[in-house]
Structure 1
Amino acid sequence: MKAWVCHALSGDRAGLRFETEWPDAPPPASGEVRVALTAAGLNFPDLLMLSGGYQFKPALPFVPGVEGVGVLTHTGAGVDPSLLGRRVVVRARSGCLGETITLDAGQVRLAPDGFSDAEAASYGVGALTAWVGLVERGRLMQGETLLVTGAGGGMGLAAVALGKACGAHVIAAASGEAKLAAARTAGADETVALADLSTLKDRIDVVFDPVGGALFASAVRTLRWNGRYLLIGFAGGIPKPFALNYALIKGIEIVGVRAGEFGRRDPEGGSRASAAIDALVASSRYRPFIGMEVPLERADEAFAAMAAGALIGKAVVRIR
């Protein structure tokens, strides 16, 4: 099959190569399914895995890609055969940047009827992380004020849209007018440049932060009493040490968010989050913002745009 394969870990993606004769995914074992993928959505963890910078480290060589969509072509023993031929969404730990994938049946679900392949391939990870962060971990309430950093990226735009769906007043922070405009399209009530977060001091109930790095010091000071700071990721690097007395004085919580691990440790909670997202999709209250689409052989261009911070919304790779 055709696939992108990481043969060696590297910060410049030098170990990532496009293969045209890579072995197909194996036949499914008991409890597994095989899917012919039609599209994949790229996420920041995919980029981190290529350098070994993500907490999950697949054995080399590996096919990257944690989410996609395709047609379920084979079922193993114990799997409902009525799924054969159905369009399904795939949520994997890796493997979606190839033409076929075999995985546990619990890692696929029927794709939303009203979504294109590009939308179905790219909505799951961002929406699930945003919902688990905002609702399950952040306890965001109607009428509260939410600050989303990195609001021009796929994860940030999902948080903006789902924050609005929760009834929050959403302030989106990003670099550049194009990203701020995308955040307004997603439903942001206000927008602010990342350099101007000091203007929000003591206004925010919940911070949703996939950026980290130097931004943390200014973003944490936007929180009012009893605020919650959601650590989603570190696209901007690991923050410098934080004076914990500030958290004590302001009564704030620093909360780590790992949506995948949340679902693995709390399957009921994971199902609850997925059902909530399904309901929003069915009522047309959530759609992913897709800023780039490329064919499979040009997936490296999407990785480059993501690494440069030039991507607005999600990047989708068309496989068939």
Structure 2
Amino acid sequence: MHAWLCETPTGVDALTWTEQPTPTPGPGQALIEIKAASLNFPDLLIVQNKYQIKPPLPFVPGSEYAGVVVAIGEGVTQLQMGQNVACLAGTGGFATHVLAPAALCMPLPEGFGHVDAAAFIMTYGTSWHALMDRAQLKPGETVLVLGAAGGVGTAAIQIAKAAGAKVIAAASTDEKCALCESIGADVSINYSTHPLPGAFRDAIKAATGGKGPDVIYDPVGGDFAEPAFRSIGWRGRYLVVGFAAGGIPTLPLNLTLLKGASLVGVFWGDFAKREPQANAKMMAELAVWYAEGKIKPVIDRTMPMAQLKDAYTHMGSRGVKGKLVMVN
């Protein structure tokens, strides 16, 4: 097998494409022949030693992947040889094969392709948990999605629309705004032409008739947080999803009082660990929505696994719309 090995977490340049013995699965494990693996923002942070999870060295990055079960270990009864699965294990995906915990493998129904499956669990799990569980989104409410053309952003648009909400998508280019509208956003705001803070707030006000959004989905952070929170509606819920802009914002807490609003943390990974039954129910519902055509990952492009460093460069350019997926 081959894998991208991180021996020193000093950045993407330190990754090396190495040949290794193909491992044998132990108890509770499955050997997966990887067909596709998506590139997520945590996959960049983890090779820079900036992610909250710091795996022992050396490790193979790649948190999310899909493929075929080619061997199973002792005690594994829920998987079969030749079965198509997706897995979000945190590491191991940027390779040709991986040992995966069988308990984390999601069997794929007929018609669920590897590329879509590799781009599904993290973004849709995060966005469903945020909107449907943490925000308790109701039909007819208005959701503002920041960073709306990215992986979690496009998933959030689709989930909010399927739940009966109005969606305002904020993105950085006209092309990205057009993508958001093509997958269901009712209104889009180009924050390059409606700059922070004043013009951006004016655009939100216009899009909501002065009421403000009921829910704000924020995977961006940085300078966007305060003007967005100042625009939120009464009893609004501000979802803290991530900090793709790099900076962790500080907010005047008097805004929560004046707006009767809530700051709501979203940590889907820990939710999945702490509440596995609720998470399994959520993922089953998402699989049904996928089969019904209500949701479908937006794939920016697929690239050969050997071009992983080029994919990291493309992601760093902030030109990605949806998800980047590496394929073997």
TM superposition score category, shorter chain reference: over 0.9
* Structure 1 residue 15 corresponds to structure 2 residue 18: no
2:61–2:91: 8 Å Cα contact kept in structure 1? yes
Partner of 2:74: 77
Aligned 8 A contact 2:79 2:102 in 1 = no
The Cα shift of 1:82 comes to 5.6
Query: Is the Cα contact below 8 Å between 1:34 and 1:103 reproduced in 2?
Result: yes
* Structural mapping, 1:214-293, within 5 Å: 214-293=223-302
2:200 paired with 1:197: yes
Question: Given the alignment of the two structures, is residue 305 of structure 1 paired with residue 308 of structure 2, yes or no?
Answer: no
**Structure 1 CA distance, aligned partners of 2:59 and 2:79?**
30
- Distance apart, 1:269 and its partner CA: 1.5
Whether the aligned pair in 1 keeps the contact of 2:128 and 2:156 (CA below 8 Å) is yes
Return the alpha-carbon distance in structure 1 between the equivalents of residues 187 and 28 of structure 2: 47
Residues 267-310 of structure 1: per-residue CA shift (max 9 Å, x gap): 12211211220110121111100012110110111111111211
- 81 and 192 in structure 1: CA distance in 2 versus 1, 3 angstrom threshold: closer
Aligned length, in residue pairs:
316
Larger deviation: 108-117 or 56-65? 108-117
Aligned counterpart, 1:113:
110
Task: Name the CA shift for 1:57/1:82 in 2 (closer, same or farther; >3 Å).
Answer: closer
Q: CA deviation at 1:197?
A: 2.7
Counterpart residue identity of residue 17, structure 1: T
What is the rounded CA distance, in whole Å, between the counterparts of 2:3 and 2:175 in structure 1? 32
Does the CA-based 8 Å contact 1:40-1:121 persist in structure 2?
Answer: yes
1:14 is aligned with what amino acid? D
Give 1:47 shift. 0.9
What is the CA-CA distance between 1:125 and the residue it aligns to? 0.9
Q: CA deviation at 1:113?
A: 2.2
Structure 2 Cα separation of the partners of residues 52 and 316 of structure 1 = 22
Specify the code of the residue in structure 2 equivalent to 1:284. G
**1:186 matched to which residue of 2?**
183
Pairwise CA distance, 1:107: 0.8
AA of the residue aligned to 1:22:
Q
Q: Is the 8 A contact 1:6 1:62 kept in 2?
A: yes
AA paired with 2:2? K
**Contact 1:292–1:302 under 8 Å retained in 2:** no
Moved more, 233-242 or 288-297: 233-242
**Amino acid of the structure 1 residue aligned with 2:175:** A
Using the TM superposition, give the Cα deviation of residue 100 of structure 1 relative to its aligned residue in structure 2, in angstroms.
1.0
1:32 alignment partner in structure 2: 29
Does residue 1:142 correspond to 2:156, yes or no?
Answer: no
Aligned partner of 1:155 in structure 2 is 152
Query: CA offsets, 1:254-273, max 9 Å, x none?
Result: 11111111010011221121
For residues 161 and 82 of structure 1, the distance between their equivalents in structure 2, rounded to whole angstroms, comes to: 30
After the TM superposition, list the runs of 4 or more consecutive aligned residues in structure 1 that deviate by more than 6 angstroms: none
Are the counterparts in 2 of residues 216 and 239 from structure 1 also a CA contact under 8 Å? no
User: Counterpart of 1:2 in structure 2: which amino acid?
Assistant: H
2:125 counterpart residue number = 128
C-alpha distance in structure 1 between counterparts of 2:111 and 2:239, whole Å: 31
For residues 122-163 of structure 1, the C-alpha deviation after alignment (integer angstroms, 9 at most, x for no partner) is 111111110001011111111000000001111100100111
Q: How far apart, CA to CA, are the structure 2 residues paired with 1:248 and 1:81?
A: 49
- CA distance in structure 1 between the partners assigned to 2:42 and 2:268 by the alignment: 12
Runs of 5+ consecutive residues of structure 2 not aligned to the other structure: 206-210
Task: Specify the code of the residue in structure 2 equivalent to 1:36.
Answer: E
Q: Give the distance between the partners of 1:149 and 1:123, measured in 2 at CA.
A: 19
Question: Match for residue 208 of structure 2?
Answer: none
Would you say the 8 A contact 1:35–1:100 is kept in 2?
yes
Which residue of the partner structure matches residue 2 of structure 2? 2
How many Å separate the matches in 1 of 2:221 and 2:237? 15
Gaps of 5+ in 1: none
